[in-house]
Copies of this chain bind each other. A is one copy, B any other.
Amino acid sequence: MRAWSETELLDTFFRDLGARRADVTLGIGDDAALVRTTPGTELVMTTDALVEGEHFLPGADARSLGHRALAINLSDIAAMGAMPSWALLALTLPRVDDTWLRGFADGFGALARAQHVALVGGNLSLGPLTVTVQLTGEVPVGTALRRDGARAGDALYVSGTLGDARAALALQRRQLMAAPPEAAFLRQRAEFPDARLELGSALRGVASACIDISDGLHADLGRVLQASACGAVIDVDSLPLSPALRAVCGADAWQQALAGGEDYELCFTVPAASVPAVARISTRTHTLLARIGSIRQEPGIELRKDDAVIQFSALGYDHFRR
């Protein structure tokens, strides 16, 4: 295997990877990148990492990793109602493998170009495989969606379908079985998640609170409720489930939907006066938006099924408490 310098690796695989943006004055190749901001906006900044053995198994598809590492950060930007602009990538590799790097760069680059994100800098190190992305976006001053704005009486919504990525993991671990078409659908959802950027920015001025579902609806909604000092009631029969999830999980599908993270759908609350706007946003953004319950004053999440209160114990994913 030939020896690469860090500069050669950056030049070969990463220099022209993302979108070309006119606001990037100086990209990869100096001590730092230079970018120009849009007057009237504030910056939205996030970072998220994928660690081998913790967030993905050894041997995971490189193109999926490149896609996911960016998508999980895009999803945070979407949840703030912002649009993404500039990414930095810190990659730690056990060895330099051209084929792997090409696949990773393809996955990252295709998504970056599709979402108009410039890759403006990065860092390459030798070590255990870890992908850390930092993403900065912009949002008009004062309009960002936060977690702390939910109020009693608000309607509670989620986008898309829930539980698919969790079911894909269970398939991979052979805890569940699926026919090939369902297995392919669920795997696609897990390996190439979308971020709801168009929806997030459409919800500015409409939603009172918003979060992206990375650790599971139950866990992430809990964070909104804690920040907003209120509670919620969920009608579990209204949880949006894909046909594939129903086929694979049957009557337990709603539990996958409540516990399942990594679908990167948005969970948001809407004041009663803005509920009619939600249907228009659904149509305009071509996004399934399901009303799954309501916000109330009493803390906690109450689950209802067939007009009875039911219990649910499988909590969402938390890296430090398993």
List chain A positions with a Cβ less than 8 A from chain B: 3-9, 25-26, 29-37, 39, 42-49, 51-55, 76-77, 79-80, 82, 86, 88-90, 92, 96, 120-128, 130, 132, 134, 136-137, 139, 141, 144, 146-148, 210-212, 223, 227, 318-321
Contact = CB atoms under 8 A, between A and B. Distances in A.
Contact of A34 (B54, B86, B144, B211): B144
Contacts of A32: 44-46, 76-77, 79-80, 82, 137
16 contacts: A4-B320, A26-B146, A29-B227, A31-B212, A32-B79, A45-B86, A45-B88, A46-B88, A47-B122, A49-B125, A55-B125, A90-B90, A96-B320, A123-B132, A126-B320, A136-B136
Contacts of A223: 7
Contacts of A92: 49, 51, 54, 130
A223 B30 CA distance: 9
A125 B43 contact: no
Contacts of A7: 223
Contacts of A139: 34
Contacts of A54: 92, 125-127
A76 B31 contact: yes
Nearest to A80: B32
A37 B37 contact: yes
A277 to B, nearest CB: 22
Given A4-B321, A90-B132, A44 B49 contact: no
Contacts of A49: 90, 92, 123, 125, 132
A147 B31 contact: yes
Given A6-B318, A127-B53, A319-B124, A36 B25 contact: no
A91 to B, nearest CB: 9
Given A5-B318, A35-B42, A127-B130, 8 more contacts: A6-B319, A29-B227, A32-B76, A36-B141, A39-B39, A45-B121, A47-B89, A48-B123
A230 B30 CA distance: 17
A46 B33 contact: yes
A256 to B, nearest CB: 22
A71 to B, nearest CB: 14
Contacts of A55: 125
Given A80-B31, A90-B90, A146-B26, A52 B320 contact: no
Given A30-B146, A127-B52, A47 B134 contact: yes
B43 A34 contact: yes
7 nearest A-B pairs in the assembled complex, by CB-CB distance: A51-B127, A32-B46, A134-B134, A31-B79, A128-B128, A31-B76, A47-B88
Nearest to A50: B125
Nearest to A120: B45
